[in-house]
Amino acid sequence: MNKYPAWLNTLVLLVLLTGLLLALPNIYGTVPAVQVADADGASYTEERLESFLRTIENSDISPEAAYLKDGRAVFRFESIEEQRQAESRLRERYGREASIAITQAPKLPDWVRNLGLDPMSLGLDLRGGVYVLLEVDMDTAIDSRMTSYQQGFDERLRDARIRHRVDLNELTITVRLTSADDLEAARAIIRDADADVLIADGTDGKSLQVRMTEAQIKARQDFAIEQNITTLRNRVNELGVAEPLVQRQGTDRIVVQLPGVQDPTRLNEIITATATIEFRLVDLTGDQPGTREYRGRPGIQSQKLRRDVIASGDQIVNAEAGFSEGQPAVFINLDSAGGERMLATTRDNVGKPMSTVFIETKREAVTRNGVTEYRRIKTEEIINTATIRGVFKDRFQTTGLNPTEARDLALLLRAGALAAPVYKVDERTIGPNLGQDNIDRGFRAVQIGFLAVIVFMAVYYRWFGMIANIALLSNLVFIVALLSLLQASLTLPGIAGIVLTVGMAVDANVLIFERIREELAAGSSPQVAISSGYEKALSSIADANITTLIAAVVLFAFGTGPIKGFAVTLSLGIVTSMFTAIVGTRSIVNLVFGGRKLKSIPV
């Protein structure tokens, strides 16, 4: 009685060995490292790795290890000084074609790394870095879409030779016609431009009211979030931050976590920057529709510019900062659509002036009667006006910036334009010393909780309590193994979840052991008491753990940040404790006490 078949004992042993193997990478620690990734996302080859390695070694620096990881080159060093020197040399040599970042890499033996094993990922509160919560300006996202509609309708009606005027008032575009006879033709043109917009007749009988549908507004807002996430990731990569986290939170917010970054000043400027540029023709006659005056920077003359945009920042596929004739310049490459429009414009306007408009949106806090309100400030200024000397298409340059502005603008244009401005809502900087202190305190809490439970179980349940302690230790191994396998970030609240799991993990064994005691007191034989204890306590154990697991899943689904970290470790701990407390301890009990006559058992 109370004997598992050999295959089941073997399975339990294999599961334990697998857990130990997956948890193994966490014992080696981390060392300073430099990570090199291709700017276009391509995977590096061994030949490319050797090229990087030669560049480092030519600077009299010898990496402790060099290898490829997920298509990226990683170089480990013994000291931070070597890391900094290697990063500087690589950035100098490959800065334009690769993203080079300082990071920490696990000091794994080759055989562990070749198995594809990694230590668990540490959250920002444990490894240090910068946390920024951004809010996306959804109103501007809709406004920009409506402005695009306005310009598009105006161009199409003009091409159709329909006399008109297109006005934009918040979320309504009014198309005014000089003749009611053109009403249906105009409606067809607008419908052809976008079949989903709402078109209503104006009260005067010769105008149309155009609005976006609720579905279009929602889709535009979702697009603004997703486009901004992509752009922010590109910007962070340009700055050389390893393992950044950029993800959506709620309906209009984005979380940016940058591990290892300790100076957030320039980082914030780049992340929240909305700077972009537009190219417009100067209106020499002053009678073009939609013409308005733009002020120039100090030393630059203000000009009346045409409404039509020749090319804008979202059509730029590459931008590099440099110098032209001794002045800071940004060298620009346009996409095919922007290039074709630039070609047509320059071909028809040789000898005429074209201006570069620098555009930036900021939010300013204003407190009135104790209430803080925010207002959006949009700056548009001419940074350069030059005469078109010849026909060009998708490659040209613009000047009028200082060196810092040119460098930052080139970075922003390369990374892509934000679909809508973002504003900083919250920011936290966690130093590396504080992160290590959090790790030490969390580890100490786990140790104290674990030792307290071990002592209690050994004293109160004797040898059966020691078997439960073995299961508890296995449970911790399995939690670490699953965190490593899933690469779920361990946070400070996550450590709290582990501490809670340590206490909860023995609950199942307490129920089982108490049930065994009751069976012995009722006169059952030891073997029957063991069997009845495990079988009759199972339903209570399952009910308690399932309800707790449901609560943990709800926390993960609706929680954010720290709450998710707590829910992850709690959920994993519940699943692993069910296995170790029921299957694991039963396997050991059966091996030690099963299949033989017993007068008593140490419980």
570-579 confidence digits (pLDDT tens) = 888 888 888 8
Domain 30-107 matches domain 275-400 at the CATH topology level: no
* CATH number assigned to the domain covering 275-400: 3.30.1360.200
Residue 498 parent element (H or E) = helix 492-505
Q: What is the pLDDT of residue 324?
A: 82
Which of 436, 496, 498, 490 lies closest to 473, judged by CA? 498
What was the pLDDT predicted at 212?
Answer: 93
Residue 280 has a pLDDT of: 92
d(CA 397, CA 399): 7
Q: CA 32 → CA 48, 194, 365, 436, distances in Å?
A: 21, 54, 41, 15
| Nearest of 490, 497, 486, 495 to residue 573 by alpha carbon | 497
Could you say which residues of the chain have pLDDT below 70?
1, 39-41, 96, 238-243, 260-269, 431-436, 560-561, 595
Q: Whose structure tokens read 């431009």?
A: 193
Amino acid at 493: P
Q: 3-state class of 132 per DSSP?
A: strand
CA 79 to mean position of chain CA atoms: 29
Instruction: Write down the pLDDT at residue 174.
Output: 93
Q: Tell me phi and psi for residue 553, to 5 degrees.
A: -65, -40
Q: What is the CATH number of domain 6-24+434-593?
A: 1.20.1640.10
Show the DSSP H helices in 240-366 as ranges. 264-272, 336-348
Pick the closest to residue 273 from 374, 359, 401 (CA basis).
Answer: 359
Write down the pLDDT at residue 295. 92
Asked if residue 421 lies in contact with residue 387, where contact means CB atoms within 8 angstroms, the answer is no
Continuous segment of H or E residues that includes residue 368: strand 353-368
Question: Please, which residues bridge with residue 382 across strands?
Answer: 296, 357
139-217: CATH, from 3.30.750, 3.30.1360, 2.60.40, 3.40.50: 3.30.1360
Number of Cα atoms under 13 Å in the Cβ half of residue 253: 12
Q: Is this model's pTM higher than 0.75 or not? A: no
The whole-angstrom separation of Cα 315 and Cα 417 is 9
Every domain of the chain and the residues it spans: 6-24+434-593, 30-107, 139-217, 275-400
- CATH architecture classification, 30-107: 2-Layer Sandwich (3.30)
